[in-house]
Each structure stands twice: as C-alpha cells, then as structure tokens.
Amino acid sequence: MKGSTDLLVSILVLKVVEGFLLSGSCQKRCLQAYTPSLICQCNAECNQHGNCCPDFHLACEGGDKSCVSRCLSNYDPSATCQCNTACSSHSNCCSDFSTACGGGSSTSHTSITQATLADRLWTMDPDKFDTQDVHLNLGGHTYAGNTQDRSPLPLFTSVNSNLLARPIYTTLFSLYNNYQPQLGVSDPLDGSDKVEIGHFLDVVMASPVIKETHTYLVDHGLYTGDMAAFRKKIFSLWFEPYSRSKGKPRDSSAFEHVFVGEYKGTKTEGLHNWVRFYSEEKAGHINYLGYSKYRGQQMVKFPFTWNGHYKDTNSFIVGSSPAFDMALGTVCYLTKPNSECDFSLNGNQFRIKQWDASNAAGPQLATAYVVF
C-alpha cells in the first residue's frame, strides 16, 4: 500500500511540474517558436501579441535586476539597478554590469576579435534602440519572391520617437532628399549637400562606436591613419558618388544604396536600414509583405514593395544606429573586400556581406548588409 501511495505522489508531482511548464514559464523556452498548444509564449513577438509568459521579462530579457539588453541605457528610476556609465559613481550598478557591459572599464583592444566586435560596439552605442524602444508586427510567414501580402499590418508597430530626435538621426533625415532613387539619374553633390553630409559625419565620427572601430582596425593592422584620415576614408567609401552602370552617370553611392534605397526598373535595390524603412512605411510608401526569417528580436528578413517597386528579399538589424551599421560595413570591407564577415550580436550569429563598386576607380564600397 505504501508503494502505491509513493507512486501516486510521484505521479501527482510530475503532473504539477508538467502543468507549470505548460501553463506559464519561459524557463528554457526563450525565443522558442510560437506553439499553439501552450497558453503563453516566449518568442520575440509575444510582447506585441500580449501573450508572453509572466516570467518572460525576467527569464528572456534579464529583468530589471540584470544588464542583459540594458547596457548604456538611460537612467531608469523604476529599475532595481542601473546599467549606464554613471552607475559606478552612484553605487547602483546591477551585479552583472561588469560581465554584461564591460563594467565601463577600458577593455584591452587587442583582446577584441571580429567575433566579439559587434557586441562590444552595441554595448557602448548611446544611439541604439533597445528592444523596449521598437515593437514589430512580423505578421504572416512568407518566402523570398512571394508577391502576396501575408501581413495586413505594417512591420513597425511603435518606435520611440524621443530617440529619433537625437542628432545622429536628425542629421540622417536631412540627407534623404539629396538623392534621386532612380538608377541612371545623376546624383551630384552640391555645396549644401556636402554641408549636410559634413554635419552627419561630425556626429558619426564623435560616436564611441566609430572611435572604437578605428582603434580596433589600427590595433589589428587593418588601417594605419589617424581619426582625421579615417573620416576621409569613411567619406570616400560611403559617400563618393559612382556609376552603377559602366559609362552612365554617377547615380549611386554606398550610403544612398544602403541608407536611402534605389529603384532599378520595377525593382527596389538596397534600402538595408531599418530607420529608412520605418520612415517610408510610416509615410505610406512601403508595403511590408510578411517575414521569411527572423533571429531574436533584432534581425528580420522579408519581401516588400516601395512606391510600387518590388524587392523579393531584404534584411536589416532592428535598432542599430547609423554609426553601428557603417562601422560593421567598414570593418568588413577593410578586412575582406568583396566577401562576407562573421559577427555575433547578443548570442545571434550573422554575417555582413559587402561588395566593391567594380565601376569605380580605387576602393569604393557598393553595399553592405546583414545575412543570417
């Protein structure tokens, strides 16, 4: 009889544990794909759909007692501890500040590798958007080349507009109208255009992301010039106009292709920047058609149309600053021109693919975009 009682107790315990796992915990389930049989979810979209498990924030985002996904975030009076550069002086850093954010101390640059560079730059970027600043609606699943709309709603549900008021974004916005997206039409840079580019580069070059990128390149023997020379290098790689078709007008640049986008016939080319996509989608110019792939809460791949011009597949990192995108593209180009470079961001592996502009004399970046 005792043996039967023990067996019954064991079965009941197992049922309780099973019920707990099925009814509401993200333990060992973070970023698990949507599972209809479970009453709550732990994936990147659960916040948007309002079906996250109660412990999603704590289990998958670190909670307010951890610096996971919070490095260099603004002071949050509601949080138990802080993860910004001032927390050490105020003695209110989270216990994992040193491991998650580098502790605000100077890290040996020679110990930073290509594999750890993206995480390092993301951690110190004051202009990035954390996951709570951008909310997506991925909509229905689709595939590259599908022209059917599998997502009746826009990709971007909400974006923290206060962050878009920062200088790196306001100076970025001022550049959009300098470019004619139709390939084959010349894009000459007049005096006022160059002034606006100069203002944008002033902000970009002042970013700790670009300063750290320069140090990394110099320490690894990939670049030898000082910061002034590096600014000129970035201008020549990203902003110098060139022709995408031999013998035709100088109708493109890496910046225009990546950060603005271009038309070629009925097709969209480039437009690999999430801020530009968001701006055009908000203006009603872009129709997001659904996702073909996503990784975590920061990378998404999808088809879309822009002013009626179709693109069968596109991808970008959500929340990245222009300095971050330009840094990775520049590093990859100077490391392995016309190739791909492996990186990792918050545990997600990805590659940056970039090409040299074959129709331009000398080194000239044509494009740089994320692949995963």
Q: Catalytic positions, please?
A: 257, 272, 311
Q: What is the CA radius of gyration of the chain?
A: 23
Neighbour tally for 366: CB within 10 Å: 22
Contact between residue 183 and residue 266 where contact means Cβ atoms under 8 Å apart:
no
Q: Do residues 323 and 127 make contact, with C-beta atoms less than 8 angstroms apart?
A: yes
Residues 6+ apart with CB under 8 A from 260: 175, 176, 179, 181, 270, 271, 276
Give the distance, in angstroms, between the CA of residue 97 and the centroid of all CA atoms in the same chain.
22
Distance CA 97, CA 95 (A): 6
The 10 Å Cβ neighbour count of residue 299 is 21
The three-class DSSP label of residue 158 is: strand
Asked if 124 and 320 touch (Cβ cutoff 8 Å), the reply is no
In a 13 Å sphere around the CA of 96, the CA atoms on its Cβ side amount to: 12
